[in-house]
Structure 1
């Protein structure tokens, strides 16, 4: 596959035996749109068949991060304009790409430097070699925009130790390198100042050898020290009980977590908890992505997604008006609706 124009949303280039994918929307912290998904998919199609390509390397342009997530403003605009099907098609192709990355037969080295959130996690944390730096801030912040963790996020977070994944999914908290490693969202830490050398070395050396040369001990995380209250509080069967336990834990951090939850979309919180519990019982990433697709399509008909994006991204008043506004008003039937068949068919995994 030939190199792309400098203004393409994903830059493709070859360096020795490494094929490089560079997310290239730095002003938007490389937020992922449908065109980018298609470019990455086509590059993987070509490079998986090309025996001269030994390694795929994912990085982000600019200084702020790999990827701030999916282009949620476009989703907001599509729903407002009555084009929900456009957003659903984007998610269909994005989730199929997430599965494709997980199945990539060649080392897929994701450099998770800086901000890595939502869709950015989807194109990186399913890779076989996931590298964080001391600058990394990794999160699934969907409950804050009236949405639910997707892109295989519920698969990844249910496999974190104890209830750490539940804590991260519900609060949307961002974690650094040490905690990303603890939660299984990354594999190795490389100092940001060495990333240039690291990616250059992948041109003519085995990815595993390069990782051994450059990996270093990560900065200490915070979550391990909070496992006692996290595991107890988030093991509850309902969001209401989780909040009650957090307030009763007698820990400042637990109280802050409770207050964080009460600012999120009540519907999103309840659907997210149900999605996590269901994902634990599903047999594969593909099965979880199928569930996430049903949930995401249902969210297109929920008022909270448009309202959450309006408050956080469009108007930026940070004052969403959730509907319903309280956890007690979100019924079991409201939650169950998100898991019903979409009417759009399922995901079309290939490769």
Structure 2
């Protein structure tokens, strides 16, 4: 591990891309605490409240209905004055779901209150872009994790057993590889209720072939080496031989595909949301903002900022992937 990290740090583009990506992920994954229309903390005569963590109905603060309190409403400000309340607000007081009441036509251009403007429903673009980026990163990471695990398992079994099992399985893999991934996702999403979990699972089922091919090749090469034959002679089971002896030495090529699987997942989710068959309506997404930009060509900010964000994320992940590949296999370094 120390050798890998030293090699990775010498890859300047990959190392700095990882640093920037960590900052981006930290900012998006902590968005609830700095980009929200709910206070972080409320201190008043009635007690201490943490709206960012818990749901509080209007009846907790005043006479009203059993609905969540609107903390930006004038009634809440009046409640704070009457009860000597103090509030700790997030840095950016906008939620990706809040439809703002304004006399300006929507989508509105960037201004002091909304640095990136508002979308066609009057929601803040910056807040939706931050939360949408988080959704894309989560989706890409989980797709890459599940796809890598599935590819390692299938490739290991193919390469270790070989023979007819490898022949028949490889034909099935080739048939599976011939299926149009995006169209299959669109068909499945039209039958099932779209959710992040469902799309992640379906995408992972189509996103393992590159890992499987690399792992299969490594196992076919390693199964005839002396240390593997010695393990079999000593009575090691197939599972132990695969898990303890071959897999640690055969995962380098497969794991190097991980960042590129992340990119594929992010691009797929953005495409599905752009086509309107991805996440449920109202969920913040880069693809949904790009779809709005297509419908509102007179509002270029709806497409410019999401497109720049998407390109930046994909470039950063690609540079990190190149650094990981070169660190795991120095012979391929340019």
What is the TM-score when the length of structure 1 is the normalising length? 0.24
More strand as a share of residues: 1
What is the TM-score when the length of structure 2 is the normalising length? 0.25
Structure with bigger RCO (C-alpha 8 Å, 6+ apart): 2
